Homo-oligomer: A and B are copies of this chain.
């Protein structure tokens, strides 16, 4: 266990330099290589990564800072990042910042101390705005939410377009008074709100945007009250899977029927959205691809550090399901709209 490279060298009857070369597939004669490998085996030698990193000045490690690991979007992304990183011989340190700018700053500092060679980061609006790439020694790829325009590489969804498309879908299905529920911590929420507004005003409808802490509990709470207001919404659009979940719970509690009393749609094709009732209408994001491409982009950046910063925009796809398909829309909805 406590064996060092020196012990291996002694046992194999060679210099430490030779052992080091064996371990890193350097040029060593077959005979010596074998001796060294035997010695390694016999002593149960395990190299010390700290020493190795210190000397070689290379960590072979990237950081991944996500905003909420409970969100299936991020677990999918992190799997993808790991897969690609692993193939490139890199390790991943996964950090969960909990939508908390302080934690984000803390983790960025930690990444700096770890001397990682790059970071993939989904920042809150606060962190995104005040992010200064020059303060870090490593390149950063933003995901989900981009930072200051062009400041770093980024891969994002066309949130505005997607939200507009989803809103259009609700409008096309006869819903008029549509409420928009958005996360208040990331840029994503704001962009999706903008897309929602685009579509609403384009159709002459008044928009009703509400921002909330991005978690199902908060969404549930807010929607419960919302549904008690005199002019309660005929449909709800939620800006991510967690919010959609909260909204669904609130609607269930209210006793309103989906989709006839109220329509429900949102982002993220989380596994449960296809299972409740006749299914929830959602914008599906290419979750795995987002992670894989972000890691690809980071690797490419490490190869050519001087390249201009790139923004990669992906598109979501609308999955129209039962939650926005009222049997008799005009009728029921209009009647409930004008009591």
Q: Which positions in A face B, CB cutoff 8 Å? A: 1-2, 44, 46-51, 53-54, 59, 69-70, 72, 75-76, 78-79, 82, 91, 93-94, 96, 109-110, 112-115, 135, 137, 216, 245, 248-249, 252, 270-272, 275-276
Contacts and interface: CB of A to CB of B under 8 A. Distances in A.
B50 A115 contact: yes
A285 B45 CA distance: 40
A79 B70 contact: yes
A49 B272 contact: no
Contacts of A112: 46
Contact of A109 (B46, B59, B96): B46
A66 to B, nearest CB: 11
28 contacts: A1-B137, A2-B137, A44-B135, A46-B109, A47-B113, A48-B54, A49-B50, A49-B113, A49-B114, A49-B115, A50-B50, A50-B59, A50-B114, A51-B54, A54-B54, A69-B75, A69-B78, A70-B79, A75-B75, A82-B96, A91-B110, A93-B93, A94-B94, A216-B271, A245-B271, A248-B275, A271-B272, A276-B276
Contacts of A76: 70
Given A78-B69, A272-B275, A276-B276, A48 B137 contact: no
Contacts of A72: 70
A93 B91 CA distance: 10
Nearest to A59: B50
Contact of A272 (B96, B113, B272): B272
Nearest to A74: B75
Contacts of A113: 46-49
Nearest to A242: B271
Lowest 4 A-B CB distances belong to which pairs? A272-B272, A50-B53, A50-B54, A49-B113
Contacts of A114: 49-50
Contacts of A44: 135
Nearest to A280: B275
A2, A50, A82 — most chain B CB neighbours (10 Å)? A50
B271 A252 contact: no
Contacts of A91: 110
A271 B321 CA distance: 20
Contacts of A249: 275
Contacts of A46: 109, 112-113
Nearest to A241: B271
Given A44-B135, A50-B50, A272-B276, 14 more contacts: A1-B137, A46-B109, A48-B54, A50-B53, A54-B54, A69-B79, A70-B72, A75-B75, A79-B96, A245-B271, A252-B275, A270-B272, A275-B275, A275-B276
